Structure 1
Amino acid sequence: MKLFTYLLVAAALLVLPTQIFSQTLEFENPIAEQRADPWVHKTDDGTYYLIATVPEHDRIVIRKATSINGLKNAREKVVWRKHEKGEMGHHIWAPELHRIDKTWYIYFAAGEAENIWNIRMWVLSNTSDDPMAGDWKEEGKIETQRESFSLDATTFEHRGKRYLIWAQNVRGGDHGTALVMSEMKNPTTLTGPEVVLTEPEFNWERMKYNVNEGAAVLKRNGKIFVTYSASATNHNYCMGLLWIDEDADLLDVSNWNKSPGPVFYTNEELKRYGPGHNSFTTAEDGETVIMIYHARDYKEIQGHELSDPNRATRARVVRWTESGFPDFMQKMGD
């Protein structure tokens, strides 16, 4: 992993072209209360689908609208519920909705009813035109080379090849999670090799827990960017950034770069606490990149942070620096 100096990265992220402020998009934030780990999929006809973690961690829900703001009051449908016993019986987390070769897929994490922290990645499929219709089929578990705690699968295509990035405990014990990537044979099967893109190494990635998770892919300006989330899911939760040249070998770890500082994190003045686990979509114009993420509007949490239900889904515009990097505008509100 090549590391640029913090000063160089900071300079790249702070130099903004003046024309980026010529257009303003306003969102009715939050666009979904008590919905964490949000993922928005936009279809070619402009329909937006929102899927996210519910506080009860027991089901998967989807809502749709013809605009991002429309998701706020859209009807929500339960498309799958946890098993009463055995696998997929607890901790239903971080579902993502993808359309691949005319089939819908939901990637999600789940523990066992009797062993709730034995969490792995699972897949559902649906051949209906609308993911809120038809039947969802259980495709089973994504098998990885390491049999260990794993979650937060996301998939993307690049130059005819499909890849999966996910979070996994790669060192055993309490070492937390790293981001791992592999090429895919099909939407449910990995081919390997499985390479570790990033592990928690900086202090901001190791607050309470050693965590790299929740990857999201954004391709723009000749690069592939990967945002990810780090640390405990309280006010310490924040986002880091990886990037690689689009012509490079994605499975050669030495081609990847990592920001040594977080790119989006708590801003107490804006009452934005623990932002993270984001996804990307585009505005109705089909061009402006929108980041969908969750955060709380208060710092103090009663009990364990995973038991607090008030991570809300929010939307904000992503701007771009003159050097072609995403700017998450840390000091600005949504």
Structure 2
Amino acid sequence: MSDEKSLKYNEPWILQRADPYVYRHTDGSYYFTASVPAYDGIVLRRAGTLAELSGAEEVMVWKKHESGPMSYHIWAPEIHYLFGKWYIYFAGGEAEDIWKIRPYVLECSGDDPLTDEWVELGKMKRAAEDEFSFEAFSLDATVFENKGEYYYVWAEKVGVGKMISNLYIAKMESGNQLKTVQVLLTTPDYDWERKGFWVNEGPAVIHHDGKMFLTYSASETGVDYCVGMLSIDEDADILDPRLWKKERYPVLKTCEKLGIYGPGHNSFTVDEDGNDVMVYHARTEAEINGDPLYNPNRHAMLMKVKWDEAGRPVFSYENK
């Protein structure tokens, strides 16, 4: 049974770790990775329980290059076990062009991702007939499985000026190759997705009772950062954007009363008893010193995911 007393919900769990991602492996062990404040590499930690992750040793498994691709702004890593191997998906820029953010892939064929070798596979590969994906600012890739197929979802900017960050989806052929042309899932339609910047990013998927729910983050990374949601039936055509239902309002946002500001860029896992848990980052101060992107005080937090009578997730700070 999980040790409820040692887990703290909706308060800082792992300090200064933004874009937190938790994966529970088939052997029951938990892996944690996140963006580190220096944006200079990828860290992993492993533990037998969620509670133990906060104190687990952190290992830098990969460091940024000195120049060229993958040499600046190493962001939002996720670790997945797919096609019989370990993969880390992350985004990175170039020292010579720090906003040339693109999605990259690392692969580990060994059993232990903390100690075995990680091989760089370069940029994620789009489908042969796809001329558009990963040509512009692209980041925050996640992978999910449905009915034996793997899907890749990412954020990419389009347009001119400040540009607009949309979410796209494609089916995967392998760990670093897409099988289908990109499909637009969501663009910032509403006012709460357009604060500071027009942004949809940070996708994460959770399954429940025959349905899938895809959360994402919206607006700039300060107090206006919040979480939106799409949903679809598992039996539907996942690549038909018309079948995804988008929520009109955010499902999680700043709570001044509790001192939780700008929640977002979440992932999902389960505790040792199989209960669903959202892992997200948030700030504990309303006023941010300097550029929000370079302020280190985005902390990883946990929230219990409850389910209503209609089988929909309820994200509430009251979920203790």
Aligned mates of 2:91, 2:54 — CA distance in 1: 25
CA offset digits 1:10-49 (Å, max 9, x no partner): xxxxxxxxxxxxx994523422110000000101222111
Q: Which whole-Å deviations, capped at 9, do the CAs of 1:44-68 have from their partners, x for residues lacking one?
A: 2221110000000001001111111
Q: CA offset at residue 201 of structure 1?
A: 1.0
2 CA distance for matches of 1:297 and 1:277?
A: 16
CA distance in 2, matches of 1:190, 1:262: 30
**What's the RMSD between the two structures over aligned residues?**
1.5
User: What is the TM-score normalised by the length of structure 2?
Assistant: 0.94
Within the alignment, does 1:58 sit opposite 2:40 as a pair? yes
Q: What is the aligned-residue identity percentage?
A: 47
Alignment counterpart, residue 138 of structure 2, candidates 132, 143, 150: 150
What SS is found at the alignment partner of 2:281?
A: strand
More helix by share: 1
CA contact (8 A) 1:270 1:333 kept: no
Change (3 A) 1:239 1:172: same
Where does structure 1 lack aligned partners over 5 or more consecutive residues? 1-22
Distance 1:250 1:172, change over 3 A: farther
1:189-214 per-residue CA deviation (whole Å, 9 max, x = no partner) reads 11222111000010100000111000
Structure 1 residue 219 corresponds to structure 2 residue 221: no
CA shift, 1:171, in A, is: 3.1
Aligned partner (choices 281, 290, 295) of residue 308 of structure 1: 295
User: Greater shift after overlay, 171-180 or 190-199?
Assistant: 171-180
Which stretches of structure 1, 4 residues or more, deviate above 6 A after TM superposition? none
Aligned with residue 67 of structure 2, among 78, 85, 90: 85
Q: Structure 2 unaligned runs (5+)?
A: none
Q: Which amino acid aligns with 1:51?
A: T
Q: Verify the 8 A CA contact 2:83 2:175 in the aligned structure 1.
A: no
Partner of 2:307: 320
More strand by share: 2
Which amino acid in structure 1 is aligned with residue 150 of structure 2?
R
In the alignment, the residues of structure 1 paired with residue 206 and residue 123 of structure 2 have an alpha-carbon distance, to the nearest angstrom, of 26
Amino acid at match of 1:298: E
Q: Residues 301 and 333 of structure 1: is their aligned pair in 2 closer, same or farther, counting only changes over 3 Å?
A: farther
Is the 1:31–1:71 contact (alpha carbons within 8 Å) kept by the matching residues of 2?
no
Q: Partners in 2 of 1:25 and 1:317 — Cα distance?
A: 11
Counterpart of 2:271 in structure 1 is 283
Of structures 1 and 2, the one scoring higher in RCO (CA 8 A, sep 6+) is 1
CA contact (8 A) 1:25 1:317 kept: no
Contact 2:306 2:319 in 1 (8 A): no
Task: Report if aligned partners of 2:304, 2:319 keep a CA contact under 8 Å in 1.
Answer: no
Q: Distance in 2 between matches of 1:135 and 1:325?
A: 40
